Amino acid sequence: MAETPNDRWNWDAAATLDALGAAAVAIWSWEPEADRLRLTGGVRALGLAPLAPDCSSAALRALALPQDRALADDLLRPRSAGSEVALRVRIRGAGVCVWRGVWREDGRASGVVAAETAFAAPEQDDLTGLMRRRSFLAQARERLQAPGGHELIVADLDRLRRLNEALGHERADLVLAALASRLATAFPPGALLGRVGEDEFAALCPAEVSPGAEAMRKALETPLRIAGLDIHPTLSIGAVQTQGGEDAPEAAELLRRAELAVEAAKTAGRGGAADYGRALESDGLSRLALEGEIKGALERGEFIPFYQPVIRLGTGALAGFEALVRWRHPRRGLLLPEQFLPMCQELGLMSALGSAVLREAARQLSVWRARHEAAAGLSVAVNLSTGELDRKGLLAEIIEIRNATGLPPGVLKLEVTESDVMRDPDRAAITLHKLRAAGVTLALDDFGTGFSSLSYLARLPFDTLKIDRYFVRTLATNSGSEKIVSSVVKLGQDLALEVVAEGVENAGMARRLLALGCDYGQGFGYSPALSAHDAESFILQCGADGAAPIRARNRA
């Protein structure tokens, strides 16, 4: 049967007002040109009855508590169309009212206002109990109205993707929840805390009581035990300070600055920290320019391997090199991996980049072997990026490279991360056995970060374990790190695997590692990554001296 106009539902104004009153929710509309604020609905329950049905901006300001009058002014300050309104204002003789709305094309704003408790649940992140990004910004905006110094610190959990792949999302969520709990204990009561991204936490508090970025790091980077596994979280931290009051920056802008500092911290490697500065703004524009140049740079061969020596700790003899990619940019000079690898990953170019580095490193080793007797026993290791172990054609490429260069079995080494293996251990085992049969040796990189299953390790055809540089760096200051290094070395001995320590920075580290039974080391204490020309000189020097000494300026 056809519907008639009388059958259609028409909103009844009285019923609508009754519903709003029962829900303690009011509708508001603000007309700046007329200085008129209209309110209807549950105004009595909210303590807004003196303002209904309409009032001036001065009336709203008078009803707000004195310390919140600046917020009332901010609520009514004209903004561009589409701008959101989200403010908490304490009302005299009532509670806290949350005003939500939007500025319209006609220059007016409208929305709803309700008691803070009506918005409490959605404002909290279900997993961590911290504020969501939107509610964090809303409350930060209010707090920044207070005069005085404020500090915003943002911490980004490194390698969340690896955690998800290795542990599964449910267990990785336990890590995030634990970090959120620790965040609450690291800051004074009353600090504004939030989860502002999937792996990103933020804290805002007065500068004079802020514990600072390093206190946050100390609280959050303590090892965790999740489902029987030891997890060692590291964070990249950015901080920014500002003055509150009328001239305070928008909360969203302040958060953007802190997140820009986090990105700068990441360029220093895992576990970095940085403060916001104007120079970071130009760095952001520089990043956009680099993104547009990467594909052409790959085609022109501007990405080249540099070679970091790997040293036998017991004798100081050169054992080989690890190939580490650099970008020889025609205008900016030599760029480090942290300046371009994230962009390569975003653009889907990691496999092409890895293939180029693998081919060139193998070719260079064959040249050295042909020229110098001292290079006869050397190896070169190349990192496989995340997911590259599953790359179609990898095995055929290895066979082709060995045939083209004439490299004997065992001198070309592939380094694979724990998380890449543990995503699908059975599938990885098949691929690794095929690669091993094709004449390469295999290293498990960043070992000790706590994700691997030892039962799988015994079944996989690895020749080498590489100890993560974090544990080497903290060997002298963290008893837990020394226990982990000692355990990895013992495990390597039990499984007849070589063990390489990354990040050896001085003679003290080298001596301690040797005392623990570690076979090999690499790091700035011996040499940074070298150009092919300088690496060749290093080979000749070691051949003449018989050892690669720790550099004098790095002695401990």
DSSP helix/strand/coil, 144: coil
Identify the architecture of domain 131-277 in CATH: 2-Layer Sandwich (3.30)
Average pLDDT over residues 214-225: 86
What pLDDT shows up at residue 8? 47
pLDDT band at 194 (very low <50, low <70, confident <90, very high): very high
pLDDT per residue as tens digits for the range 257-300: 898 888 888 876 667 788 887 666 555 555 666 677 888 888 89
What pLDDT shows up at residue 346? 77
Q: How far is CA 161 from CA 13, 420, 423, 468, in A?
A: 52, 11, 11, 18
pLDDT at 553 over 60: no
Average pLDDT over residues 43-54: 88
User: Any idea which residue has 């371009």 for tokens?
Assistant: 340
pLDDT per residue as tens digits for the range 492-531: 998 899 999 999 988 889 999 999 999 999 998 899 999 9
Average pLDDT over residues 349-357: 91
Q: Which alpha helices (DSSP H) does 301-453 contain, by range?
A: 341-346, 350-371, 394-405, 418-422, 425-437
Domain ranges (residues) in the chain: 14-115, 131-277, 302-468+523-545
DSSP helix/strand/coil, 539: helix
What pLDDT shows up at residue 548? 64
pLDDT at 448 over 80: no
- The CATH number that domain 14-115 falls under is 3.30.450.310
What pLDDT shows up at residue 409? 95
Taking the complete model, does pTM exceed 0.85, yes or no? no
Q: Which helix (H) or strand (E) holds 228?
A: none
pLDDT per residue as tens digits for the range 303-326: 999 999 999 999 999 999 999 999
8 A C-beta contact, residue 524 and residue 311: no
What pLDDT shows up at residue 279? 66
Q: How far is CA 399 from CA 335, 378, 408, in A?
A: 31, 19, 11
Q: Which alpha helices (DSSP H) does 13-159 contain, by range?
A: 13-22, 43-46, 57-63, 69-76, 116-123, 133-143
What pLDDT shows up at residue 158? 83
Phi, then psi, of 518 in degrees rounded to 5: -70, 140
Phi, then psi, of 274 in degrees rounded to 5: -155, 150
Superfamily of domain 302-468+523-545: EAL domain (3.20.20.450)
pLDDT band at 552 (very low <50, low <70, confident <90, very high): very low
Q: Which alpha helices (DSSP H) does 128-246 contain, by range?
A: 133-143, 160-167, 169-186, 213-220
Closest to 44 measured CA to CA, from 24, 72, 59:
24
